Structure 1
């Protein structure tokens, strides 16, 4: 009877830790284990791939990086599929045409005309707004997914100059308002 109890306890603990681990496809290309909060999403989530030079295998070698590493133009935040995404700032939804297939088929591009930036959000499962919509801070705009993402459910956040291309991307951390979860 004790053996059966120990086996059941072990199964329960194993199932709980697997659930807490999240998407089994997640690959983290950073030593940062901090869980971050943001006005853009609820809960605390880890960064999978940070902005800048990365050892993630999805990017071609970039002259800005050592050891033939690639350059990641945004931040990938791991979160379970279906996690709601809210607009962290106000803006207008603009067309995401021309961004390419790497972001998935459900890409969101929000423009802030006053501050002259765009935020590109990739890998969504579902987008709840469309080009021409005005979004306000706190409004639900999408759900996390894994569309075109080989490493599991997450959202990709990129800050660019208004109407700018990939070469105008800058670190989006301040725009996202990332704070360590307490």
Structure 2
């Protein structure tokens, strides 16, 4: 009797195994990349080498309303999303002061971090963080671990959103953050 039930269950178990996403060394099964760039980048801001999910500028990612700057009804992404496993360490590159995140909406997650460096003229908004170790008013020296990557508020898996703004500026002041992040192709 045992071999008869095993024979009947084997195809069912095989189908269930095929239908269940297997853990992948490639990363989070929710990751969706809206770029053809398959380069892995390193940065002094985060541990490891990771791919960009959504670059700065016009994008086909479905989360953004059509923008007049973009063709074909595409939306505009004001930062760079870098795919990385949840818990990836996040460090600041420059001296910075932590400022309040009250003006940010839920798209950045529950605990986004905003770092300000007046001397260099930027606010850096970092979305989808967890285990945040800083609060508004804290001053950070370069290399300080201040948070970790998360999927909080992110429909497409664990990643960090980096958005460079002018000091005290809103979303309309967002500019290309790549130079600030010092992204370099991993060797």
Q: Tell me the TM-score normalized by structure 2.
A: 0.87
Count of residues paired in the alignment: 166
In structure 2, the partner of 1:31 is 36
In structure 2, the partner of 1:176 is 181
Shift of 1:47: 0.2
Work out which of the residue numbers 156, 160, 179 in structure 2 matches 1:155: 160
Structure showing greater Rg: 2
Cα RMSD after superposing both structures: 1.0
Mind listing any 5+ residue stretches in structure 1 that lack a counterpart?
1-16
Quote the Cα distance in structure 2 between the aligned partners of 1:171 and 1:69. 18
In structure 2, the partner of 1:117 is 122
Q: Secondary structure at the match of 1:20?
A: coil
**Does 1:45 find its partner at 2:50?**
yes
Mind listing any 5+ residue stretches in structure 2 that lack a counterpart?
1-21
**Does 1:89 find its partner at 2:70?**
no
Deviates more, 1:71-80 or 1:90-99: 90-99
Q: Secondary structure at the match of 2:147?
A: strand
Shift of 1:20: 1.4
In structure 2, the partner of 1:108 is 113
Deviating 4+ runs (over 3 angstroms): none
Quote the Cα distance in structure 2 between the aligned partners of 1:166 and 1:87. 21
Shift of 1:125: 2.1
